[in-house]
Amino acid sequence: MKRKVYLNHDGGVDDLVSLFLLLQMEDVDLIGVGVIPADCYLEPAVSASRKIIDRFGKGKQIEVAASNSRGKNPFPKEWRMHAFVVDALPILNEYLPVKTKESKLPAHKHLIESLRNSTEKVTLVFVGPLTDLARALEEAPDIEGKIERLAWMGGTFLEMGNVEEPEHDGTAEWNAFWDPEAVKVVWDSNIHIDLVALESTNMVPLTLDVRNRWARERKHLGVDFLGQCYAAVPPLVHFQTNSTYFLWDVLTTATIGKEVLVKRKEVKSIVHADGPSQGKTELSENGRAVELVYEADRDAFFDYITDLAKQA
Ligand code: AGV
Ligand code: CA
């Protein structure tokens, strides 16, 4: 039987590639998509999402809902620009006008409606901040019973996160930092959480050998699409910088299609909601239990997503 999945993303290159890959997974039934303007600008991210469903969604009718959520700590503008590049790729603009519909509802209400209308429990995949889920839970606590589990790209228990901003101590991961309060709300629920944290995503940087592989195999339309998307962002070459790109969200998505790619263990954690460590997830005996994804099989992961792309 197919698993029902709802995706909420924030328009980065790896967010949009995650949508593309979910559409290729045979045992996944994607029931809806929400787009939040965190690490992106909203219009190109919504537009690119609709075009990806048109082109690579195998005829499925899936609505895209724009979020009206706002965060506490804004993403750098240069990163938010990436969605414009993907939206403009010729591969997504060959068959205009766009057919996939935009929902009339804002993303958090679209999530509530999608869960209430589903006869089966739904797996949530969140690859940006948790704001829309937190708002949905506050507005409609009944939806908790419809959630199978949440796979979230976010958080870390490493000494260093990936936030380099004034007034912050660097211990947080960006999706948690954008809206730390939302993480707290979700932590206070009873939802089962798979936390795809920096521990595992650090093992899947974008490197030149990966890029070159996608170039060699570009005769497959879907592999060409991967290569075109990842041309927009900087790979790891000599050393890691603040801009170095990892396949954070794509690893999160891949765990839905192929669980054996990663290792998990249960940990207990709290979240810092404010102050210089805001967004930091910290191990604590008094914390709530989450399933930490702490390791990834790099080669098997890249083989898996490249093979999936060949099915497009
Ligand atoms: O913290 C990782 C999250 C993921 O959801 N995002 C990017 C992924 O979509 C924020 C982010 C951290 N570092 C970045 C990010 C970078 N160097 N470029 C763009 N986004
Ligand atoms: Ca993201």
pLDDT tens for each residue of 151-180? 999 999 999 999 999 999 999 999 999 999
Give the Å distance between the CA of 18 and the centre of ligand 1.
13
Supply φ then ψ for residue 8, to 5 degrees. -120, 120
Q: Would you say 9 and 127 are in contact if contact means Cβ atoms under 8 Å apart?
A: yes
Q: Where are the alpha helices (DSSP H) in 25-164?
A: 42-56, 77-80, 82-88, 107-117, 131-139
Q: Specify the pTM.
A: 0.98
Give the Å distance between the CA of 218 and the centre of ligand 1.
25
Q: 151 forms bridges with which residues in the sheet?
A: 125, 194
Q: 147 forms bridges with which residues in the sheet?
A: 122
CA distances to 16, 150, 159, 209, 290 from 200, rounded to whole Å, are 20, 17, 14, 20, 15
Give the Å distance between the CA of 175 and the centre of ligand 1.
8
As a whole number, the mean pLDDT across the chain is 97
Pocket test for ligand 1, best of 152, 246, 248 (most atoms within 8 A of CB): 248
d(CA 196, CA 52): 24
148 has pLDDT over 90: yes
Q: Work out whether strand 3-9 and strand 122-126 pair parallel, antiparallel, or are unpaired.
A: parallel
CA distances to 11, 28, 39, 43, 190 from 36, rounded to whole Å, are 7, 22, 8, 10, 23
d(CA 312, CA 211): 18
Looking at residue 271, its amino acid is V
Residue nearest ligand 1's atom 19 by CA: 79
pLDDT class of 59 with cuts at 50, 70, 90? very high
Ligand 1 atom nearest to 201, measured from its CA: 2
In this structure, what token pair is assigned to residue 165?
A: 């901003």
Length of the chain: 312
193 has pLDDT over 90: yes
Mean pLDDT of all residues in 302-308: 98
Supply φ then ψ for residue 68, to 5 degrees. -110, 20
pLDDT class of 181 with cuts at 50, 70, 90? very high
Give the Å distance between the CA of 256 and the centre of ligand 2.
16
- For ligand 1, residues with CB inside 6 Å are 12, 14-15, 39, 79, 127-128, 153, 162, 173-175, 243, 245, 248-249
Residue 291 is predicted with a pLDDT of: 98
Radius of gyration of the chain (CA): 18
Nearest partner of 9 among 206, 236, 248, judged by Cα: 248
DSSP at 219: T
In this structure, what token pair is assigned to residue 150?
A: 């949440």
Mean pLDDT of all residues in 135-150: 98
pLDDT class of 82 with cuts at 50, 70, 90? very high
304 has pLDDT over 90: yes
In this structure, what token pair is assigned to residue 155?
A: 């958080």
pLDDT class of 220 with cuts at 50, 70, 90? very high
In this structure, what token pair is assigned to residue 133?
A: 């889920």
Ligand 1 atom nearest to 153, measured from its CA: 5
Looking at residue 40, its amino acid is C
Residue 290 is predicted with a pLDDT of: 98
Tens digit of pLDDT for each residue in 83-113?
Answer: 999 999 999 999 999 999 999 999 999 999 9
Residue 287 is predicted with a pLDDT of: 97
DSSP at 243: T
23 has pLDDT over 90: yes
Mean pLDDT of all residues in 40-53: 98
144 has pLDDT over 90: yes
d(CA 51, CA 215): 22
1 has pLDDT over 90: no
3-state secondary structure of 296: strand
Q: Which ligand is nearest to the CA of 75?
A: 1
117 has pLDDT over 90: yes
Looking at residue 266, its amino acid is E
Residue ranges near ligand 2 (ion) with Cβ within 5 Å: 10, 12, 15, 127-128, 249
Q: 102 forms bridges with which residues in the sheet?
A: 64
Pocket test for ligand 1, best of 10, 14, 20, 39 (most atoms within 8 A of CB): 39
DSSP at 184: H
Q: Which ligand is nearest to the CA of 236?
A: 1
Residue nearest ligand 1's atom 17 by CA: 243
Ligand 1 atom nearest to 173, measured from its CA: 1
Residue 190 is predicted with a pLDDT of: 98
Pocket test for ligand 1, best of 73, 79, 201 (most atoms within 8 A of CB): 79
